[in-house]
Amino acid sequence: MKLPSLLLTLLILPMMVYSQSAMDKGFRMLETGKFADAAIFFHDYLKKDSLNQTALICYARGVGLSGKTDIAKDVLKKLQTRFPNNYEIDINMAEAQMWSKDFVKALALYDDLVRRDTTSFAALLGYANAFSESKKYIEALNYVEKALKVSPNNANAMMSRKFMRLGRGGILANDGKFDEAIALYNLIMAENSKDIDALVNIAQVLMTAERYIEAKSIHEILVGLPSKKTDGYLGLSMVTNKLKNNDSALFWAKKAVETADSTNTLKAYLGLVNAYAWKKDFKSAFVQLEKLRTAYPNDVDVISAYGRINIWSKEFTKASKYYQKLLSLVPSSFDGNLGYADVSHAQGLDNESFKYVRKTLEYFPNQRDALQFLEKLHIAHDPTIFTHVFFSKDNGGNVSQNYRAKISLDPHALIKIWSTYYQRSAQNLKESNSTLSSIQQISTGASYRISGAIKLFAEATLVSTLKYNRIIGDAGLELNIGKYQILELKFYNEMQSFTASLIDRNIRMDNIQANYNLSLPFKVGLYSQMINTRISDDNQRNLLFLSVYYDLLQSPILKAGINLSIFSFKKQVPKVYFSPNIFKGYELFAASENVNEPKAKKLYQITVAGGVQKISNEKFQNIYRFDIKAGWRFNKRLWAMLYFMRSNSAASSVQGFTYNETGIRAQYIIPTRLL
């Protein structure tokens, strides 16, 4: 928050009580802000009277306030040598330090001046302003109140206090102390109910605090002020976007364009660009941007908008180039540095993301958005402990107890390593001779992102039972192919461990799997999975799963669609495991979750589905399944969820029985900055 320039009036000098008619013209120049002219006037006057203290101080003020602060300080320093401890000379020297933005020296000088005279209004107000320019707003507000006790209702002091309150409010808002910030702004409003600066800042804090209904009412007030009408409409556009009404957001953005004048035309059209992009109408957004590029070539805000809209439209390579161009023009650009961090994160290149968010904080210390981004990156890469305990049973008498623990850490932003322990104990309660069989697995794996398009991963697992030990593994890669498509290819082994009998039989499955995910901008998605499995008992399985869905809501997620499952086995061994020559399943499903909502405390994931299945030559059978999870996010790094799932689909269990599972999952992310 910028403060106004320090008082631009002459300090009252003792010798000026006498008639100074010869210098009156120069005084008026200083009083009316004609500092360069005043400097010339007093320079000429000093040719006739070179030792005149008043003229020398006025000359110093003229040259200093017109930008030549070194000359001003040199003149005042010579005066200090001639007149040691002269209060008027010393107070002008303190103000000269303010002109040259040497606030540390100014604070030291004002501290001495206030000690020498606790009732000096000029010293008290100067001290307050020096604190304010140093962003020490608590001290600034303390001394400006002292100045106002000396000179009640002084207009300059009250104006300085207003900007100190705005500055202190900005720091409080950045620290998340929104109510305290608004309280300070309300003090400004109490003195002037139409203060535009206070209204704008209240609106900004309410937006940051996500109090959108209150922010909307403030922007409606701004619309009624002629000088802020366009800003008010832009604010309403942003508010209605946050309230998930993008049609209204576009309407208000168009109103902003209609009311814009030459001072805010660019800002209004950039708001229109955003509004089109919020509606996923990227074609219209880029049409507007092309017009702006023609009218404002190399404008940093237009370049930043190109970067932002390209991120939103998943054109990450293009976005990176725009942010690089922006940084080449303005290396300290907030939008450039944080935008490049954002687009790098979108591509999984978090090494670059860390680098540029830290650069942002070098230029803008403690900036709230940058700090939140950095915390998000740490949460994504700090060591993580995940635990999962669950119990299962089916109507074939199979029961199991399961425990899984996993810890992962990232030695580099592009590298993740992990280790997992899994134990399963299974038994069949309907078989009199069935005993409890257990299997333990210890895994170690790693992944490495080569580029924004390619990630490699691999894992090795030691499997141990009472009857055998085996080493199995998996390896694969993930490919981003185009803006909306992800292809995953992998080869992996697994041991059949669903039932006690299967654990004892030492049956290994070697799988080649391909997963394809297509997520289109018009809310339609496709997920498919193909698996070819070679089984150690000389059997073979082929599986196809296909899901087509529509995103009804994106935040929180709500989608519905159709699933198709088809698999077949080369040989049928029903006494060992479910292995029909052909299985077909068709179902409608709906799913909703809020787990990825970072501020959600009460967590849920719900999936329900119903349809039909056909096993070999049997008739179609009705099937259903549901999975309900509910939990709590204790903070950004710790959550836990209980769940229950049930399915009568033959695809849900190796034996083809109705299957139930109950369990709890929990995750804790260890804050490395405390280690």
Q: What distance in Å separates the CA atoms of residue 215 and residue 236, rounded to the nearest whole number?
A: 8
C-beta neighbour count of 635 within 10 angstroms: 9
- pLDDT tens, position by position, 359-410: 999 999 999 999 999 999 999 999 999 999 999 998 888 899 999 999 999 9
Torsion of CA 372, 299, 344, 513, to 10 degrees: 120
Token pair, residue 71, equals: 């000359």
Residue 649, pLDDT > 90, answer no
- Closest by Cα among 252, 238, 169, 172 to 207: 238
* pTM of the model as a whole: 0.86
Q: What distance in Å separates the CA atoms of residue 617 and residue 622, rounded to the nearest whole number?
A: 15
Structural domains in the chain, CATH included, are 382-674 (2.40.160.40)
- pLDDT tens, position by position, 561-581: 999 999 999 999 988 888 899
What confidence tier does 168 reach under pLDDT thresholds 50, 70, 90?
very high
The pLDDT, as a whole number, for residue 15 is 37
- Closest by Cα among 618, 611, 546 to 578: 618
Rounded to 5°, angle at Cα 118 from 116 and 119: 120
- Tell me which of 248-257, 431-440, 484-493, 529-538 is least confident: 431-440
Q: Return the H-helix or E-strand segment holding 335.
A: helix 334-346
Residue 5, pLDDT > 60, answer no
Return the DSSP state at 577. Answer: S
Q: What distance in Å separates the CA atoms of residue 110 and residue 93, rounded to the nearest whole number?
A: 10
Q: What distance in Å separates the CA atoms of residue 178 and residue 112, rounded to the nearest whole number?
A: 36
DSSP string, 111-166: HHHHHH-TT-HHHHHHHHHHHHHTT-HHHHHHHHHHHHHHSTT-HHHHHHHHHHHH
Amino acid at 121: F
b/e map 226-265, b = 16+ CB within 10 Å: eebbbbbbbbbbbbbbeeeebebbbebbbbbbebbeeebb
The pLDDT, as a whole number, for residue 431 is 79
- Closest by Cα among 593, 590, 551, 566 to 650: 566
Residue 110, pLDDT > 80, answer yes
What confidence tier does 656 reach under pLDDT thresholds 50, 70, 90?
low
Task: List the beta bridge partners of residue 632.
Answer: 602, 640
Mean pLDDT in the chain? 91
Residue 245, pLDDT > 50, answer yes
- pLDDT tens, position by position, 580-624: 999 999 999 999 999 988 889 999 999 999 999 999 988 999 999
The whole-number average pLDDT for the span 516-523 is 90
- pLDDT tens, position by position, 258-278: 999 989 999 999 999 999 999
